Structure 1
Amino acid sequence: MQSKPQVLAWLTCDGVHIDPGSGKHTILGVFSNIRAAKFPVAHPFMIWFLTLSDVPAGQHKVRISIGVDPMQMTPLIERPFESQSPLQRINLINEIRNLAFNGPGDHSIVVEVDDEPLLATSITVTN
Structure 2
Amino acid sequence: MTDDVRNVQEALSTITEHWQPHRLTSLNDYDVKVVKLQGEFVWHTHPETDELFMVVTGRLTIQLRDRDVVLDPGDVFVVPRGVEHCPKATEEVHAVLFEPKGTVNTGDAGGEMTAALQELD
TM-score, normalised by the number of residues in structure 2: 0.33
Structure richer in helix, relative to its length: 2
Structure richer in strand, relative to its length: 1
| Structure possessing the higher relative contact order (Cα contacts under 8 Å, 6 or more residues apart) | 2
For the pair shown, which has the larger CA radius of gyration, 1 or 2? Answer: 1
TM-score, normalised by the number of residues in structure 1: 0.32
